[in-house]
Amino acid sequence: MIKKTILIFFLICSFVSCSKKEKVETKSLTIYCYDAFASEWGTGPAVIPVFEEDYGIKVNLVACGDSVQMLNKVLSEKKRPKADLILGFDNSLLSIVKEKKILQQYRSSGLDNVDDSYIFDKENFLTPYNYGFFSIIYDSSQIEAPKSLDDLLDAKYEKQLIMIDPRTSTVGLGFLLWTLHEYEDSWLDYWGKLSGNILTISDSWDRAYGLFTLGEAQMVLSYTTSPAYHIEYENQTKYKAAIFEDGHYIQIEGAGIVAGTKNLDAAKAFIDFMLSNKFQDLVPLTNFMYPVSKTANLPESFLQLERPSKFFELESSIISEKNNQWISSWRTKLAE
């Protein structure tokens, strides 16, 4: 009888222990993101503590390089996902991500506060949280502003441009798509002419921008909103965005829930949180992009910026179909 009682006692303890462990697991969340989001000055360190306090969910934020590198990592883990949520896939990667079947659908009620033009995935595999316009940032104390993509070919800009690799970065991919939109069948000829003015091609945005601010070159591929950082934190206005009359390529970044996650409720909670003003109000001065929420507040430094009068993007289905071909052709052209 005593042995039976002891056995029952241990079975109960074992059950309670398992229940507690299960509860802890459902109160955690692993998020993959790009490096800039997780950096000490990025959005991650600003918003994660707020989310953890409000929801009681512990977040493990994992930086995976740039967004294309992050996609490759997620694909390599597809059979045994390690992440619950992916943050940073954009409108250019949408069809590619969908084809790989690595995300599951979720529509947050927070989308009611988002303008329809920024909801780039109507099936809700990816939920938008910020957007921006690709641009050439230049040091106005050193050079005159280029006024168009054609202007970037001028000999006066020889070796003055830092670009970003489209194979590893959505920023680099965005510029490649911009040239495709602008020049169509002659886009490779454009890259052949541009190559003489390129100092280097970095594998990520943060490395490229770091080289620029160190003075290695006077122009860098980035966003129209990048000068806001220098205005806000350095009281510096010499770094400016070149605004082109022909328009700029738009990037809309989104978050998606990993298919097969064991922490679905926590992942949904984070997406809801991303669309709240507690997150959206912090986007401008941490990610230096525009928040998607209509009710978010913009700081004074953003109000000083010039916004493009026109913007555009390519259909994500076309990108998915031809992306590998474009990248291969681009690589061959620059190797000539």
Mean pLDDT of 132-140: 98
Q: Report whether 228 contacts 284 (CB < 8 A).
A: yes
pTM value?
Answer: 0.88
213-265: per-residue pLDDT in tens?
999 999 999 999 999 999 999 999 999 999 999 999 999 999 999 999 999 99
The pLDDT assigned to 222 comes to 98
pLDDT-derived band at 68, boundaries 50, 70, 90: confident
The pLDDT assigned to 167 comes to 93
Hey, what domains does the chain have and what are their CATH numbers?
28-131+251-303 (3.40.190.10), 133-248+307-335 (3.40.190.10)
Q: Measure Cα distances from 310 to 93, 94, 182, 253 in Å.
A: 22, 22, 13, 19
Enclosing H/E stretch for 161: strand 161-164
How much helix, strand and coil, in percent to the nearest 5, is found in the chain?
Answer: 45, 20, 35
**Sign of the CA dihedral 228, 133, 44, 297?**
positive
Mean pLDDT of 264-288: 97
Q: Which long-range contacts (CB under 8 A, 24 or more apart) does 139-142 make?
A: 139/212, 139/215, 139/218, 139/219, 139/238, 139/239, 140/237, 140/238, 140/239, 140/240, 141/238, 142/218
On average, the pLDDT of the chain sits at 92
141-186: per-residue pLDDT in tens?
999 999 999 999 999 999 999 999 999 898 999 999 999 999 999 9
pLDDT-derived band at 189, boundaries 50, 70, 90: very high
pLDDT-derived band at 277, boundaries 50, 70, 90: very high
The pLDDT assigned to 65 comes to 85
In this predicted structure, the answer to whether residue 197 has a pLDDT above a threshold of 80 is yes
In this predicted structure, the answer to whether residue 12 has a pLDDT above a threshold of 50 is no
In this predicted structure, the answer to whether residue 5 has a pLDDT above a threshold of 60 is no
In this predicted structure, the answer to whether residue 298 has a pLDDT above a threshold of 60 is yes
In angstroms, the CA 179 to CA 246 distance is: 12
pLDDT-derived band at 27, boundaries 50, 70, 90: confident
The pLDDT assigned to 66 comes to 84
Mean pLDDT of 186-197: 98
Q: Between 182 and 65, name the one with better pLDDT.
A: 182
pLDDT-derived band at 83, boundaries 50, 70, 90: very high
Given its phi and psi angles, is residue 124 left (phi above 0), alpha (psi -120 to 50 degrees) or beta? left
